[in-house]
A = this chain, B = another copy of it.
């Protein structure tokens, strides 16, 4: 690894000059000729700055700490981290990712991250909810991901659950479904509440009356399948908006048992938490992908802007923002929930 010292020696200037030039702070301070001499030598030698040495003086490591609650084991956490990493990398930052279980382990991880001098923290939860950032993070820039601050004091990103459901339901409406059911989650959580509301609003905006008997909120367990069975037999829906893959599976199972074919006899739109169905085969199942990557991306940009005290270039938003396919096209295998488009992400 080449050092500034070596460059200084080989070009006959002082280390300070090298430092100035290589940090782009030479404008009007260093002789342009010397500057380019230094620059050439640097590229010639393949010089790369030693960020650790620099951090010793500057107290800035360009390392970000990503704290997640076992989120690494959930299938979708990867998307968040990937997005955060991509954005971080674009700005020359690295990510330390740690996952915690208990409270104690969390404080441990935080302490470790602090020792390594991280410049700021991501604080991420496993599913969209209201959370409290530990006080040990008080003096640091923090951004919450897939969670929101109780006091709304910490910047945060979450999926726009309402719009996700609104879009999904609309898609079923446009596909010609007459009796659209919602197979949701019987635990109260932000995602459930928002999606139910979006489902209702879409129906309402389409001039339909909301029929509570078409709503079936279940858990992931035995009784769930019976409840969905009952939904089939009682109300004979021809369209289903499903809270997630697991709920969609109940619908598939019930349909198959009744000789109904998804994509022909009934339509199904599900929110993608696991992606099995999307990866499997059913072009008849429309999967609305949660904007995990985008949340990660946004949060990294936000965090870095806080750290550097300046706006980051949000035009760097990733390519994955595919436009929503036209509604009259055949139902696609996947709708990408585009960032900053139709409010599919909410930032605070």
Contacts and interface: CB of A to CB of B under 8 A. Distances in A.
Interface of A: 1, 48-53, 55-56, 61, 70-75, 77-79, 81-82, 85, 89, 94-99, 109, 111-112, 114-117, 220-222, 224-225, 245-246, 249-250, 252-253, 256-257, 259, 274-277, 279-281, 283
Nearest to A257: B256
B99 A82 contact: yes
B116 A94 contact: yes
Given A52-B61, A61-B52, A82 B72 contact: yes
Contacts of A95: 96-97
A246 B280 contact: yes
A284 B281 CA distance: 23
A221 B82 contact: no
A274 B252 CA distance: 17
Contact of A49 (B73, B114, B115): B115
Given A116-B94, A279-B246, A81 B75 contact: no
Contacts of A99: 82, 85
Given A257-B259, A281-B224, A246 B53 contact: no
A146 to B, nearest CB: 15
Copies in the complex: 2
Given A52-B117, A253-B252, A274-B274, A220 B81 contact: no
A281 B222 contact: yes
Given A78-B74, A256-B257, A281-B222, A94 B94 contact: no
A279 B74 CA distance: 11
A332 to B, nearest CB: 15
Nearest to A66: B97
Contact of A73 (B82, B245, B253, B274): B82
Nearest to A115: B48
Contacts of A222: 281, 283
A185 to B, nearest CB: 13
Given A78-B77, A281-B222, A85 B56 contact: no
Contacts of A276: 245-246, 249, 274, 276
Given A73-B82, A96-B94, A220 B257 contact: no
A101 to B, nearest CB: 10
A156 to B, nearest CB: 22
A225 B285 CA distance: 15
Contacts of A259: 257
Given A73-B82, A222-B281, 13 more contacts: A53-B56, A75-B274, A78-B78, A82-B99, A85-B99, A222-B283, A224-B281, A225-B281, A257-B257, A257-B259, A274-B274, A274-B279, A276-B276
